[in-house]
């Protein structure tokens, strides 16, 4: 998908959780646009709401430095996708490919040696052209595309237990473990996805065009839970459905001016539960397994009891006007509005000695059930001027953003149970400037500077919870300020030969008012000394770095094309993760702030793409990536000091992907046969590590406490697994090698 292409761009890396980061920024600082309209998930600021098939794309543009004033609510980068329009002739394409994971690493991955050629199947297709009967003159055209995938994953469990199995471990005497499962292997991280797109374009006149577009995406998946490896039917099912509807009008006014008007409506619908009915009798009592042989053992039964639901609907519009007012000035102005409605509900099914049937407590009357339903309004306007002279091009812009959370917040942080007041709207003004000028007939120097704002993740504004004796809830804060980045960049683009070019950029980002989860200790009039946590604008950070890229275009002599880039960057902040602050109202003291590498700080990132062959007939291509390890905080047993946060690094990451394809040109269509191999050398890349060793494969820190003599005496009995097996964590690593074979037919 296009997200895979993004990871090969200079300055783009992935965190241990797979989230994308551009130039050291946080994963939610990337703005995603489709045909100029933001398609973010409102719950997570800039999380991509809808994925689309590559076959639907006309162009993908990635802006990783300072971007123009027309883009807002993002601080690290912009990904702008342009959807194809139908033409006068019919065009179509269909692809099918399938495969599985091929790895000999049976020590780490359960059932990995059982190859199923249909375990990972993908079908995608597109068709475009004039609308039958009424569009033969090319004025009314369509483009339809879709992609479906079904992947079993590579993490398997074994059904030794069913969720209602019982186990008993008396301190003396025989242990009893019920094993009613059928012993079959069960996929524990499967995923199936579908996304579809339909676009209709009506060219009313040569200067007036109207288009309508529908995007839809749906995903269903499960996430691997290591403790449930032998009770795999007890884990959550996840589902996500997203849609976007838009209508766009393009109108050229004379030869120098045009405008675009766009209105849209989008929805998101996320759910997480094991059984849809919270009163389902298949839920198992949480005290059914009343003792455990160790704190580090697999589950002998049981079910995950939580339910989460997030729904949103957004409506908005956007207007842009562009005019070449003189030969030297191109003016662009625009405005946009977006209204987000968000509803989130989280609760836990209670079922134990106190609640003898599956029970859900009333909404917002206990920490086991909370709900919010809120609305947020975004408004923006901008103006920018592209100034062109013979030896200089300058972009100067100014952007204004307005945000109204329309919600209340705790007035006194030391009295969170007291009165609330309505949050004020937020105003943001962002000056931006970019200058480029030629230094040779094939070289350009460029400099950019800008202020970039975005509102924090809206969930952090609206989250609710319940105060009570012995509770330490976390709540949202509707009066959060916008996060801010000031970006500086200087770069060089140089064409060395007709097929060889280099690009270099030096950048610095100063980041302020990032979110942190602050813990506060206070004196409650009702419950006495109490604690709670609240999201506040506490964090700051900086990123500095350099990127260098080399591009060699394909030529018929060497039959080789190549792209290579190198990034060195340092991303630091005063909080490596939320929850790093503590304020005590009784002493007035706040925990000391320390600057540390951020959790996704990969200092060195190198990637290269090589393609050899004739793209019209055959080709072999490789994509390789080498990057330094992510930081982590070591835990040194018996040390007489506390290690600094994120003061050590995980092992380096390395990966090579390969693609081979052969093209057959037949009478009326083209056939492409291909093979894809991901992680060609089946490398064990360590995403997560044990804090005491810095490695994913072994740990010593907890063995003496967790591997008890009593547990060792029962090794070998049915249902009893060793401590070493429990510590064998396949999800600590990236995916093993996978191979897919496929065919594409282009009409």
List pLDDT tens digits, range 608-618: 999 999 988 99
Contacts of 106 (CB under 8 A, 6+ apart): 112, 113
Closest CA to 447 of 512, 501, 393: 393
**pLDDT, averaged across the chain:** 90
At 584 the pLDDT is 46
Question: What are the structure tokens assigned to 201, written together?
Answer: 């374009």
Closest CA to 239 of 301, 136, 309, 167: 309
- Stretches in the chain below the pLDDT threshold 70: 1, 45-46, 135, 289-291, 469, 575-593
Within 10 angstroms of residue 165's Cβ, the number of other Cβ atoms is 23
Domain annotation covers residue 242: no
Closest CA to 224 of 739, 677, 733: 733
Backbone angles phi, psi at 234, to 5 degrees: -100, 10
Contacts of 153 (CB under 8 A, 6+ apart): 187, 188, 189, 190, 191, 224
At 291 the pLDDT is 63
Backbone angles phi, psi at 559, to 5 degrees: 55, 30
Question: What are the structure tokens assigned to 631, written together?
Answer: 């930081």
Q: Quote the domain boundaries for residue 535.
A: 1-84+390-557+573-597
Question: What are the structure tokens assigned to 90, written together?
Answer: 């019919």
At 289 the pLDDT is 67
H or E element, residue 271 = strand 257-273
Domain annotation covers residue 471: yes
Within 10 angstroms of residue 686's Cβ, the number of other Cβ atoms is 22
Q: What is the Cα 212 distance to its own chain's centre?
A: 28
Cα 241 to Cα 20, 316, 506, distances in angstroms: 21, 20, 40
Q: Is the pTM of this model over 0.85?
A: yes
Domain annotation covers residue 394: yes
Contacts of 167 (CB under 8 A, 6+ apart): 175, 176, 177, 178, 289, 300, 301, 719
Closest CA to 514 of 472, 587, 570, 571: 571
Contacts of 311 (CB under 8 A, 6+ apart): 267, 268, 269, 270, 342, 343, 344
Closest CA to 555 of 620, 613, 623: 613
- Residue 49 CA to residue 47 CA, distance in Å, equals 6
Closest CA to 125 of 141, 142, 148: 148
Closest CA to 72 of 450, 514, 509: 450
H or E element, residue 614 = strand 604-614
Domain annotation covers residue 64: yes
With beta carbons less than 8 A apart as the criterion, state whether 75 and 453 touch. yes
Domain annotation covers residue 587: yes
Domain annotation covers residue 462: yes
Domain annotation covers residue 293: no
Number of residues that this document lists for the chain: 747
Domain annotation covers residue 333: no
At 522 the pLDDT is 86
Q: In the chain, how many domains are there?
A: 1
At 399 the pLDDT is 98
H or E element, residue 724 = helix 723-726
């Amino acid at each position: 998908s296009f997200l895979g292409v993004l990871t090969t761009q200079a300055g783009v890396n992935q965190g241990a959780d797979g989230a994308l980061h551009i130039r050291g920024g946080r994963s939610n600082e990337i703005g995603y646009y489709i045909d100029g309209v933001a398609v973010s998930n409102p719950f997570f600021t800039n999380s991509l709401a809808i994925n689309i098939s590559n076959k639907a794309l006309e162009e993908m543009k990635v802006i990783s430095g300072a971007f123009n004033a027309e883009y807002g609510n993002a601080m690290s980068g912009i990904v702008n996708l342009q959807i194809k329009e139908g033409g006068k002739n019919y065009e179509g394409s269909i692809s099918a490919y399938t495969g599985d994971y091929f790895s000999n690493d049976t020590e780490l991955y359960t059932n990995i040696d059982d190859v199923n050629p249909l375990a990972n199947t993908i079908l995608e297709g597109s068709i475009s052209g004039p609308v039958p009967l009424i569009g033969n003159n090319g004025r009314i055209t369509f483009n339809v595309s879709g992609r479906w995938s079904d992947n079993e994953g590579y993490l398997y469990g074994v059904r030794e237990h069913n969720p209602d199995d019982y186990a008993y471990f008396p301190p003396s005497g025989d242990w009893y473990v019920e094993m009613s499962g059928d012993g079959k292997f069960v996929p524990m991280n499967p995923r199936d996805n579908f996304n579809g797109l339909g676009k209709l374009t009506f060219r009313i006149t040569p200067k007036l065009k109207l288009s309508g577009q529908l995007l839809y995406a749906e995903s269903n998946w499960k996430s691997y839970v290591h403790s449930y490896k032998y009770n795999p039917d007890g884990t959550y099912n996840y589902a996500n459905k997203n849609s976007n509807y838009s209508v766009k009008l393009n109108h050229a006014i004379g030869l120098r001016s045009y405008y675009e008007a766009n209105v849209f409506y989008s929805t998101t619908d996320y759910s997480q539960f094991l059984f849809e009915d919270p009163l389902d009798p298949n839920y198992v009592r949480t005290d059914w397994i009343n003792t455990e042989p160790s704190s580090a053992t697999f589950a002998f039964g049981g079910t995950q009891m939580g339910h989460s639901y997030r729904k949103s609907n957004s409506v908005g519009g956007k207007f842009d006007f562009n005019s070449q007012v003189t030969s030297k000035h191109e003016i662009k102005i625009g405005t946009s509005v977006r209204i987000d409605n968000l509803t989130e509900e989280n609760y836990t099914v209670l079922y134990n000695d106190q609640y003898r049937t599956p029970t859900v407590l009333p909404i917002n009357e206990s920490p086991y059930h909370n709900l919010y339903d809120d609305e947020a309004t975004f408004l923006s306007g901008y103006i920018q001027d592209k100034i062109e002279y013979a030896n200089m091009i300058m972009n100067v812009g100014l952007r204004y953003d307005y945000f109204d959370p329309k919600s209340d917040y705790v007035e006194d942080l030391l009295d969170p149970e007291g009165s609330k007041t309505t949050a004020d709207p937020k105003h943001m003004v962002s000056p931006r400037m970019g200058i480029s000028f030629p230094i040779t007939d094939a070289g350009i120097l460029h400099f950019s500077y800008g202020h970039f704002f975005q509102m924090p993740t809206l969930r952090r504004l609206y989250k609710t919870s319940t105060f009570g004796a012995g509770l330490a809830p976390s709540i949202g804060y509707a009066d959060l300020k916008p996060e801010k980045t000031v970006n500086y960049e200087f770069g060089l683009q140089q064409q060395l030969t007709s097929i060889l070019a280099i690009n270099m950029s030096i950048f610095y980002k100063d980041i302020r008012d990032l979110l942190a989860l602050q813990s506060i200790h206070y004196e409650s009039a009702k419950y006495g000394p109490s604690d709670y946590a609240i999201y506040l604008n506490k964090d700051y950070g900086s990123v500095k770095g350099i990127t260098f890229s080399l591009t060699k275009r394909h030529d018929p002599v060497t039959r080789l094309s190549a792209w290579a880039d190198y990034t060195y960057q340092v991303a630091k902040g005063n909080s490596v993760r939320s929850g790093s602050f503590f304020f005590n109202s009784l002493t007035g003291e706040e925990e000391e702030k320390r600057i540390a590498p951020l959790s996704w700080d990969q200092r060195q990132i190198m990637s290269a793409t090589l393609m050899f062959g004739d793209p019209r007939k055959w080709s072999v291509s490789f994509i390789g990536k080498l990057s330094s390890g992510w930081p982590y905080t070591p835990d040194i047993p018996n040390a007489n000091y506390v290690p600094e946060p994120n003061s050590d690094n995980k092992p380096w990451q390395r990966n090579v992907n390969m693609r081979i394809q052969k093209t057959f040109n037949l009478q009326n269509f083209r056939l492409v046969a291909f093979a894809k191999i991901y992680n060609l050398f089946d490398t064990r890349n360590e995403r997560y590590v044990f804090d005491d060793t810095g490695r994913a494969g072994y740990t010593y820190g907890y063995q003496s406490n967790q591997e008890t003599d009593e547990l060792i005496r029962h090794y070998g009995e049915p249902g009893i697994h060793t401590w070493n097996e429990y510590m064998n964590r396949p999800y600590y690593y990236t995916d093993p090698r996978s191979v897919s074979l496929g065919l594409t037919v282009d009409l």
